[in-house]
Structure 1
Amino acid sequence: MQFSESWLRSFVNPDKISTDALSHSLTMAGLEVEEVGPVAPPFNKVVVARVLSTERHPNADRLNVCQVDAGTGETLQIVCGAPNVAPGVLVPCALVGAVLPPSEAGGKPFEIKVGKLRGVDSFGMLCSARELKLSEDHGGLMLLPEDARIGMDIREYLDLDDQVFVIKLTPNKADCLSIHGVAREVAALTGAALRLPEMKPVAVTLADKLPVKISAPDLCGRFSGRVIRGVNAHAATPAWMVQRLERAGQRSISALVDISNYVMLELGRPSHVFDLDKIHGGLDVRWGRKGEQLKLLNGNTVELDEQVGVIADDKEIESLAGIMGGDSTAVTLDTTNIYLEAAFWWPQAIQGRSRRFNFSTDAGHRFERGVDYATTVEHIERISALILEICGGQAGPVDDQIVNLPQRKPVRLRVARAERVLGIELSPAVIADVFQRLQLPFAREQGEDGEVFVVTPPSYRFDIEIEEDLIEEVARIYGFERIPARPPIAESEMRPTDEARRSTHAVRHAIAARDYQEVINFAFVEEKWERDFASNDNPIRLLNPIASQLAVMRSTLIGGLLDKVRYNLNRKASRVRMFEVGRVFHRDASVADGGLTVAGYRQPMVAGGIAYGPAFDEQWGIATRPVDFFDVKGDVEALLFPRVARFEPVSHPALHPGRAAQVVIDGKVAGVIGELHPRWLQEYELTQAPVVFELDLQALREVGLPGYTEISKFPAAVRDLALVVKQSVRVQDLLDAMREALEKQGSARYCQSLVLFDEFRPKAASAAIGADEKSLAFRLTLQDTGATLQDETVDSAVRCMVEAAGAAFQARMRG
């Protein structure tokens, strides 16, 4: 929010506080002043002057020789090339010796001297607003009103020593989105008197009323309006109002629009001025309907639905409720009859609606945070008075309809609780003084913990709902600087460490150690990603997305990781390995509300990774090859160590049907791993398939406690066996059958390892291996801790394994 110091001091003027002190006080009270700067750069010896006469320069067609009265006691001759110079106009005049701002950034100040222009002496310079750095207008001289006194310093006349404040407000401080609101804070902080503009009812000379119906009480709680006829829309906006608007960052448009904007900045009340003659019948305040359209004041045509509030007449939609007016009823310079509207719109009904149409307005910014619902009539009177004063006309009575206003529940503040939170001693008298200065009505009573203040929030304070809000108010006005900085006092306690679980931080380090770079993505994603990678046709939708495409919550990390791969590939990165640890979101009716849960939604933490490009950085010792399923499978096994996972085939919408597996630990599915499905390679413009994994974070954190295992001092017996089986037989099924056979025979206690170390598939059928068969070579390591194993024991174990494989899968020994 931006405003001039002089405007603020017209409401509250603490005499003994400088600009810097005022800025500091506001910042320490929670209204952060981001910037304070002068409205004009420094310059001197520029005065109000009147052009007495002009004549054409004898040696230049575009120059005029002017005789000027600058209040110096003598007439000055000044050569001027401005197209709008004429006898009788009042303009700024830089006298000889004046120093003007530099013409460009980084330049030197410009000094006015006696000079000759095409042979004619010139004793000064007539100035444009651009030459004084008051605006970018360079179409001619800056023309001044007739009330300007000749010879008066232009800085004094235009109040150019005024300062402009730029305040960064937190979202809860909607009550300070006006000069009145900031002035209330200054009055509370300094004790200075607060002066408000008069809001007396204007004389009612018409009986006209416009019929208005409020069909949506949950949209609009109060609607006030007035008919004014016979206005002069060509009337000029007063210079004082234009000046205040410009210093608040607003451009002057026309008198009627300027007055509406002025009162919004002054009192925080957005209002709207309709051209009465363009309204068909009466107005209906209601929710929009599917298929309706509205052309707005900014020229955009928007599609409406049942989630957007509108003001409609008997024929068409006229306004987007609480956000922006429609083009069809906009006031113009030909407008003579108007309908003035000020309403209370429920914040929940306005929140997020502007962003649905990709724009933001000052009115929507205020209404979605909450605007005073008790002062619509007073503010209508303020706007009416300004319109009648500036544009003339005759006013009808105010039509004020109240259908649904907020019920402000009292909020209790325990003095003992405030002392504990702030860490200081607070007497009830101090707290009472704070509430009185903030104009917060309160009552006092005794509670179990001592004295309690019961505060009823005013109609303009939508940020006061719980006890902590009142504690914050006490801290702000009491002064954060007065609260001493004390180190926290707490008992130190050595807590046991759960050695069976590692932290999320340790998991991140472990994945990074496998050559993956961490990324952090939004938890809200494109709806298309959910359909493509999770077959999720009913994703969890956001009520208020930050962007139209990021409208749903993710149920998988794959979409975000793949998007970052494409981002890197577009920037010429050939090898990409990334991971993310984050939350995903699923519908689950069994979940109840809790401290960290939301009813109906399960929010587990998962770790996902993706590898694309070469398996290793290019080097002379290893041949370049693309990363494959088994590279990433090895990474997953290393991350899960010492726990051992099974990898079972799985059908997954994001993964290749024959190159995907689910990760199973202790009989529970803990995640998936696989190559990206071929159909998504073309869809997402990838030249090779990335390999992705997604694991439950809790499975990664569980490592178990280490256990003692005796190391044998006797030699191990190693046997290799090659089995020929059908190509459809899975290796994991073979391993399971052979381990089960060892268990039944009683040799399982000797088995140190049983691993596959070779696979052979013939190109053509042979006597040893058929065309539809494959050879699998396993290595079996047996070892006993009590004695050297005899050959008979080893051979018996091998024999039982081969027999079990033969019985289950028709496997036979090769050769």
Structure 2
Amino acid sequence: EGDITVRLAQPKEQLTLLDDQEVELDEDTLVIADDNKALAMAGVYGGKNSGVTENSQNIFLESAFFAPDAILGKARRYGLHTDASHRYERGVDPQLQRAAMERATELLLAICGGEAGPVTEAVAEELLPQRSDITLRISRLAKVLGVSIADDSVTEILERLGFDVSFDGQQWQVGIPSYRFDLSIEEDLIEEVARIYGYNSIQAAPPAAQLRMTERKEGELSTHKLIDAMVCRGYQEAITYSFVDPKHQALMFDETAALTLPHPISVDMSSMRVSLWPGLVGAVAHNQKRQQAVLAFVETGLRFIPDESAENGVRQEAVISGIRSGKAHSEHWSEGDRSVDFYDMKGDVEALLAQTGNSAEFRFVASQNPALHPGQSAAIYHGSEKVGDIGALHPKFDKALGLNQRTFVFELSLSAVTQRPLPLAKPVSRYPSIRRDLAVVVDKQIAAGELIAAMENVGVKQLVDLNLFDVYVGDGVPEGKQSLALSVTLQDSDKTLEEAEVTELMTKFIETLKSEFNATLRD
């Protein structure tokens, strides 16, 4: 109906393909159309309205050159894969169209008979790929291949490949035919020469290079050391995809806008991860379905957080994450049959933080996280900065994520755990240490870590160890209260502590706990 044109699709334009599939075309999709409708998706798939059937009498042939950028990704976007898209995405000879048209016409006339009509040709020469000569230097050829090839042999190889070749004693000027659109730089010609000359004809020789040790800061921890620490605790290192299922990620991080890929590998790998947890959860679910009873994985990698102020609108953060599920130990008569719990995971994280030599600077604070169980989750702080999360995955996600056992996870910013202080030697005290036990009654909502931190901040230089060894709730303790028993170890590097000095130091601790937490000594 009317003339044939090539144009971009109109908004919400429909096209019925040769396989009867009806698609709604995007506005950046190139189509071949007549005056009233689209006839085909250019370079991808033909339309049913212009398809040839057994009853066709008049056939219109169309042969075109489409730039690869115009066709790239269009077939995948519509769930198609055709010979046309396969070829046009990789490039075709821009000078072959008329010859192909004439050959197709010749075959039709020879097989079916009939009469040939006129050829209408539309060419935009300024938009066609422009081919220029490529210079191939003797010195560059010898350096890349590591072997000297006779000048005459190189000239012969290039001519046998159909190139226009001229040689001036130092280099070749090579004219590339239009059908070799894969050749554009000098290294492309070197590859062609090596291919025809024969790889087996190039003698193998070890490379000569100078090796120099790279600089390494002693105060930086490598990720390998962190991974090794977790492997020693029974973890397996995992490597998962940066692309995750958007549905699973939305369940765990409903408040975080993820980046959606325009051309994903598959529908269930169409979002960039905002955490390493979705990939690790998928690994655990996969192994649980295969009757694995003890599961513990650790991974380092990047998470991708949308951020308008960051480069390209995305902030890439390096993190280390872990996951545990199933039994706490492999089956053994001495270990018992116990499932992993929050404190197993917390112990693993504390062991990881101990690698920094600054574990006392980190603290766990009860918090709420949409992906974690409300009563079994905590934020991890380094000073006043939040650097990670730990906790049990919320049970409401178990069925949707394919989990059948309680699962615990953690995630830490790598920048917070890869710095450590340089070790400094200190003399060992020759004087005895003194231990005192302190039992105080405080409100149930007060965490023991808060008491320990407050006591450490008192500034008593003789304090060498502080440990919580008992928690009691029951008879003798008022309702809503808990009794925390702490062991305090004191030692001076210059002298033996006198009883009066110990009493004075313990009084400081008690007064601090009383003023900050309204703590009382337990009778």
TM-score, normalised with respect to structure 1: 0.59
**Is the aligned partner of 1:578 residue 2:297?**
yes
Deviation of 1:367 after TM superposition, in Å, equals 0.8
**Which residue of structure 2 aligns with residue 565 of structure 1?**
284
Deviation of 1:664 after TM superposition, in Å, equals 3.1
**Which residue of structure 2 aligns with residue 120 of structure 1?**
none
SS of the residue 1:401 aligns to = coil
Give the residue type in structure 2 aligned to 1:312. Answer: A
Identify if the C-alpha distance between structure 1 residues 590 and 445 changes in structure 2 by more than 3 Å, giving closer, same or farther. Answer: farther
Kept in 2, the 8 Å contact 1:583–1:604? The answer is: yes
SS of the residue 2:482 aligns to = strand
Give the residue type in structure 2 aligned to 1:630. Answer: Y
Give the residue type in structure 2 aligned to 1:481. Answer: N
Deviation of 1:590 after TM superposition, in Å, equals 5.9
What pairs with 1:355-366 in structure 2 (closer than 5 Å)? 355-366=76-87
**Which residue of structure 2 aligns with residue 727 of structure 1?**
444
**Which residue of structure 1 aligns with residue 391 of structure 2?**
674
Q: Distance in 2 between matches of 1:500 and 1:637?
A: 19
What pairs with 1:26-37 in structure 2 (closer than 5 Å)? none
Deviations 1:365-421 (A, max 9, x none): 111100111121111011111111111111222111123323446555443333222
**Which residue of structure 2 aligns with residue 488 of structure 1?**
207
**Is the aligned partner of 1:439 residue 2:162?**
yes
Deviation of 1:313 after TM superposition, in Å, equals 3.2
**Which residue of structure 1 aligns with residue 181 of structure 2?**
462
What pairs with 1:252-291 in structure 2 (closer than 5 Å)? 280-289=1-10, 291=12
Give the residue type in structure 1 aligned to 2:393. Answer: L
Question: Residue 690 of structure 1 is aligned with which of 407, 410, 413?
Answer: 407
Identify if the C-alpha distance between structure 1 residues 508 and 430 changes in structure 2 by more than 3 Å, giving closer, same or farther. Answer: farther
SS of the residue 1:584 aligns to = strand
**Which residue of structure 1 aligns with residue 487 of structure 2?**
779
Identify if the C-alpha distance between structure 1 residues 314 and 668 changes in structure 2 by more than 3 Å, giving closer, same or farther. Answer: same
Give the residue type in structure 1 aligned to 2:140. Answer: R
Pick the structure with greater CA Rg: 1
Q: Distance in 1 between matches of 2:173 and 2:367?
A: 62
Give the residue type in structure 2 aligned to 1:739. Answer: E
SS of the residue 2:457 aligns to = helix
Question: Residue 475 of structure 1 is aligned with which of 169, 179, 194?
Answer: 194
Identify if the C-alpha distance between structure 1 residues 699 and 788 changes in structure 2 by more than 3 Å, giving closer, same or farther. Answer: same
Kept in 1, the 8 Å contact 2:454–2:513? The answer is: yes
Q: Distance in 2 between matches of 1:691 and 1:613?
A: 10
Deviation of 1:670 after TM superposition, in Å, equals 3.4
Deviation of 1:546 after TM superposition, in Å, equals 1.8
Deviations 1:26-72 (A, max 9, x none): xxxxxxxxxxxxxxxxxxxxxxxxxxxxxxxxxxxxxxxxxxxxxxx
Deviation of 1:647 after TM superposition, in Å, equals 2.0
Identify if the C-alpha distance between structure 1 residues 293 and 755 changes in structure 2 by more than 3 Å, giving closer, same or farther. Answer: farther
What pairs with 1:479-628 in structure 2 (closer than 5 Å)? 479-493=198-212, 498-535=217-254, 538-588=257-307, 599-628=312-341
SS of the residue 1:281 aligns to = coil
CA RMSD of aligned residues (A): 2.8
User: Which ranges of structure 2 fall in alignment gaps of 5 or more residues?
Assistant: none
Deviations 1:501-529 (A, max 9, x none): 44434433332221122332222112223
Give the residue type in structure 2 aligned to 1:564. Answer: A
Deviation of 1:688 after TM superposition, in Å, equals 4.1
**Which residue of structure 1 aligns with residue 467 of structure 2?**
755
Deviation of 1:458 after TM superposition, in Å, equals 3.6
Deviation of 1:473 after TM superposition, in Å, equals 2.3
Give the residue type in structure 2 aligned to 1:326. Answer: G
Deviation of 1:626 after TM superposition, in Å, equals 2.5
**Which residue of structure 2 aligns with residue 313 of structure 1?**
34
**Which residue of structure 2 aligns with residue 326 of structure 1?**
47
Question: Residue 383 of structure 1 is aligned with which of 88, 95, 104?
Answer: 104
Q: Distance in 2 between matches of 1:375 and 1:724?
A: 90
SS of the residue 1:402 aligns to = coil
**Is the aligned partner of 1:715 residue 2:432?**
yes
**Which residue of structure 1 aligns with residue 351 of structure 2?**
638
**Which residue of structure 2 aligns with residue 423 of structure 1?**
146
SS of the residue 1:585 aligns to = strand
Give the residue type in structure 2 aligned to 1:712. Answer: S
Kept in 2, the 8 Å contact 1:292–1:304? The answer is: yes
Question: Residue 294 of structure 1 is aligned with which of 15, 23, 26?
Answer: 15
What pairs with 1:61-460 in structure 2 (closer than 5 Å)? 280-289=1-10, 291-403=12-124, 404-408=127-131, 411-426=134-149, 430-441=153-164, 451=170, 453=172, 455=174, 457-460=176-179
Give the residue type in structure 2 aligned to 1:571. Answer: R
Q: Distance in 2 between matches of 1:319 and 1:575?
A: 56
SS of the residue 1:648 aligns to = strand
Give the residue type in structure 1 aligned to 2:390. Answer: I
Give the residue type in structure 2 aligned to 1:353. Answer: K
Deviations 1:82-109 (A, max 9, x none): xxxxxxxxxxxxxxxxxxxxxxxxxxxx
Q: Distance in 1 between matches of 2:260 and 2:134?
A: 34
Q: How many residues get paired?
A: 517
Kept in 1, the 8 Å contact 2:226–2:355? The answer is: no
Q: Distance in 1 between matches of 2:184 and 2:482?
A: 73
Percent of aligned positions that are identical: 39
Identify if the C-alpha distance between structure 1 residues 287 and 814 changes in structure 2 by more than 3 Å, giving closer, same or farther. Answer: farther
Query: Once structures 1 and 2 are overlaid, which stretch shifts more, 412-421 or 388-397?
Result: 412-421
Give the residue type in structure 2 aligned to 1:664. Answer: Y
User: Which ranges of structure 1 fall in alignment gaps of 5 or more residues?
Assistant: 1-279, 593-598
Q: Distance in 2 between matches of 1:517 and 1:303?
A: 47
SS of the residue 2:122 aligns to = strand
SS of the residue 1:660 aligns to = strand
What pairs with 1:6-21 in structure 2 (closer than 5 Å)? none
Query: Once structures 1 and 2 are overlaid, which stretch shifts more, 416-425 or 311-320?
Result: 311-320
Kept in 2, the 8 Å contact 1:533–1:556? The answer is: no
Kept in 2, the 8 Å contact 1:674–1:692? The answer is: yes
SS of the residue 1:342 aligns to = coil
TM-score, normalised with respect to structure 2: 0.89
**Is the aligned partner of 1:804 residue 2:512?**
yes
SS of the residue 1:400 aligns to = coil
SS of the residue 2:55 aligns to = coil
